Chains A and B, each alone.
Chain A
Amino acid sequence: MIIAKNISKHFGKLVALDSINITCNAGECIALIGPNGSEKTTFIKSILGLVVPDSGDILFNNKTISKNWMYRSQIGYMPQIGRYPDNMTIGQLIKMMKDIRRENKNNIDEELLYSFQLDKMLDKRMRTLSGGTRQKVSALFAFLFNAEVLILDEPTAGLDPLAAEILREKIIKEKQKGKLVLITSHVLSELDDIVTQIIYIQDGKLIFHKDIEVLRTETGEQKLSKAIANVMAKTLINE
């Protein structure tokens, strides 16, 4: 569904992405992991067209995304820090998003609105919201249009355990519908039972992209965090 072909990106002297080739298929739930500052977010932003790669190409459903914008109607994106126009209320923001994505009008999924109980605070202005509530709003928008691809950047950061659980359930549900889910997260344990594939990025380089079962057998660890730690230790030794 998403194919990254040899993409590179420099910010000044810093090499953010270094010839990355990745293929993501529908029905998978892919965890994008790596140490802090490993440019996971840059990669996600490249897919969204927020960052323009210096070279290489990204294909979405076999079409290049450069100079294209309509493909984004098939993506639900939850940013790491969701900040919104201060003076708008949640209700107005939802209305605006529906207005902007009019093409998805007949396919609205408002489940999170009720499960996060956001429907009771539609009149609250964005600047009065806590970080956690903003995250809930971000999550709501990601799922609102029933998009084929979900890109979630640190989805559970800042959420209380109850909300995190609700979100996890929601992700599983959507995955089962055959959607492609891309998640970056550093809290690995939460992902254990969702994830089907792991992409590991370090210093802008793709270290590996493997099925979780393959990874488990290779390392002999059942827990995802242990398996990753194992791999990380190996790469360190190799260096």
Chain B
Amino acid sequence: MNKVIKYVVIDILRSKIVLAYTFILFIISFSVFSLEDNTAKGLLSLLNLVLFIVPLVSIIFSTIYVYNSSEFIELLLSQPLRRKQIWLSLFYGLSASLSLAFLIGAGVPLLIYEPTVTGLIMAIVGSLLSVIFVAIALLAAVSSRDKAKGIGVSILLWLYFALIFDGLILFLLFQFSDYPLEKPMMVISGFNPIDLSRIVILLRLDVSALMGYTGAVFKDFFGTNVGFVTALSVLVLWVIVPLKLSLAKFKRKDL
């Protein structure tokens, strides 16, 4: 399997987009930390970067890459290779490149300025988000033959996770404001990897006190080791489920 991953990674690195992405992340992260007078603020600005830019770049780049590689995939498919192997190689290649880009671009400044558990968790969550959105992109790309449609679906999915989902939560909260919603919210947040990541990181920062009772309920769970491991497992599920679905679709796909 390694031989195909190698060529996917080489191909991605040659396209320079990932290099530019790394570079931009690096510039932003460093300027965020050196402009803000304290690192806590820098962390918060970086949080927005992680929650906004990382999923967007991951999902769009991966979708476009899969469409642009359709001939390459076809070439590989006519070779004595398993479909699963080709698809997983694409996934591994994309996730390795994008999470590496994040770790170098944002992870390194993060660990230089904030060499704590919080910084580490943020680096882990950021790379996990990269991988999650690669998996989602693969699912979007395999579902449609049309490139424009596929990219459109990707953007919509990103909008949904970054924005629309939170809108729905707000709507639910107001519809059922008579009920104690803290605990159900904990479950619901698991249905959006961006929300889950945001909450896990926010609870590590001192702003968590602003979150009041809601924050306290969340902290009681996610603050413990069991809760943290659960949250990470849910994030890993967000990689596995879309990947498995896309793989099943790809196995039956006609090229």
Name A's B-contacting residues (CB within 8 A): 9, 11, 45, 48-52, 69-73, 75, 77, 79, 81-88, 92, 96-97, 99-103, 141
List of A residues within 8 angstroms of B81 by Cβ? 69, 72, 100
Q: How far does the Cβ of A196 sit from chain B's closest Cβ, in whole Å?
A: 24
How far apart are the CA atoms of A51 and B74 in the complex, in Å? 11
Q: How far does the Cβ of A98 sit from chain B's closest Cβ, in whole Å?
A: 10
Cβ contact within 8 Å between A101 and B80: yes
Q: Can you name the residue of chain A whose Cβ is closest to the Cβ of B85? A: A69
Tell whether A45 pairs with B71 under 8 Å between CB atoms, given A77-B78, A88-B11. no
Q: Tell me which of A9, A71, A84, A87 contacts B75 (CB under 8 A).
A: A84
How far apart are the CA atoms of A85 and B77 in the complex, in Å? 14
Q: Which of B7, B69, B80 has the most CB of A within 10 A?
A: B80
Q: Which of A11, A45, A100 has the most CB of B within 10 A?
A: A100
Cβ contact within 8 Å between B74 and A85: no
Cβ contact within 8 Å between A50 and B255: yes
Cβ contact within 8 Å between B74 and A97: no
How far apart are the CA atoms of A83 and B80 in the complex, in Å? 19
How far apart are the CA atoms of A97 and B78 in the complex, in Å? 11
How far apart are the CA atoms of A95 and B167 in the complex, in Å? 51
A-B contact list, 10 entries, CB within 8 Å:
A51-B254, A69-B80, A73-B80, A79-B75, A85-B11, A87-B11, A92-B10, A96-B3, A100-B80, A103-B80
Cβ contact within 8 Å between A97 and B15: no
Name B's A-contacting residues (CB within 8 A): 3-4, 7, 10-11, 14-15, 68-69, 71-72, 74-83, 252-255
Cβ contact within 8 Å between B80 and A79: no
Cβ contact within 8 Å between A45 and B254: yes
Tell whether A52 pairs with B252 under 8 Å between CB atoms, given A84-B72, A85-B11, A100-B4. yes
How far apart are the CA atoms of A131 and B10 in the complex, in Å? 24
Cβ contact within 8 Å between B75 and A72: no
How far apart are the CA atoms of A85 and B253 in the complex, in Å? 21
Cβ contact within 8 Å between B76 and A100: yes
Q: How far does the Cβ of B149 sit from chain A's closest Cβ, in whole Å?
A: 15
List of B residues within 8 angstroms of A102 by Cβ? 3
